[in-house]
Amino acid sequence: MLKKKGFCDLGFAKVDIDREKRRGFAEVIYCPGKQKGQIEKISLQFLKNKQNLLLTKLDKNIFDYLKRKIPGLKYNPLARIGYLLKKTKVVKKGLVVVISAGTSDIPVAEEAGVTLDVMGNRVVKLYDVGVAGVHRVMRHIELLRKAKVIIVVAGMEGALAGLVSGLTSAPVIAVPTSCGYGASFGGLSALLTMLNSCSPGVATVNIDNGFGAGYFASLINR
């Protein structure tokens, strides 16, 4: 693999067209900081190579521009993700459950959910079931125990991930969000809580990184 080029050089970007062979899914386009023309050229290169397209943190105005150039491009406004599937999805056997602690955490949870769906996973979402009313998540304990992987998205103090992990046998991917009052420090409080979980089996991704959680969960499920 290293003997061949493996990427397409656009000058401003080197599109990794071999990533699908290495990782099982094509390179994903992180949109902030890129001009709309650059995003368009990168996207068209993936489609030229018959690969699925996933654009994260995509602004709605840029999506409106892109959809005129790329027929069939879809958009989830909550997740701020654009996507286009060129290949038939293969549904995985395992179940992935995506949980949000509060309604304010839903955009990050949706980013994880759309990523999982595009990568061909079976997904169930449980929203607004945080520890302030723990009976809400306890109602779904049987569902949680059927999951192969669980993603927990929480801001504030981020305690929900450790709680869910303690109740189930599946690996838990914790996603801290930037939701919360001043002392949450833009998600740092939740991040530290999740990193310091006393329940084994919790892995933590970066603040607001729903895509990273969805991608990692898909690798585990595969």
Cβ atoms of 187 and 178 closer than 8 Å: yes
What's residue 1's pLDDT?
46
Residues 172-207 have pLDDT tens digits of 999 999 988 887 888 888 999 899 888 888 999 999
Q: Say which residue, 208 or 10, is predicted with more confidence.
A: 208
The tally of CA atoms less than 13 A away on the side-chain side of residue 179 is: 20
In this prediction, residue 75 has a pLDDT band, given cuts at 50, 70 and 90, of: very high
Share of the chain above pLDDT 90, in %: 43
Residue type, 38: Q
Question: Residue holding tokens 């094509």?
Answer: 26
Q: Decide if domain 95-221 falls under CATH 3.40.50.1970.
A: yes
Residues 15-27 have pLDDT tens digits of 888 787 787 788 8
pTM of the model: 0.85
Domain with CATH 3.40.50.1970 in the chain: 95-221
Cβ atoms of 76 and 51 closer than 8 Å: no
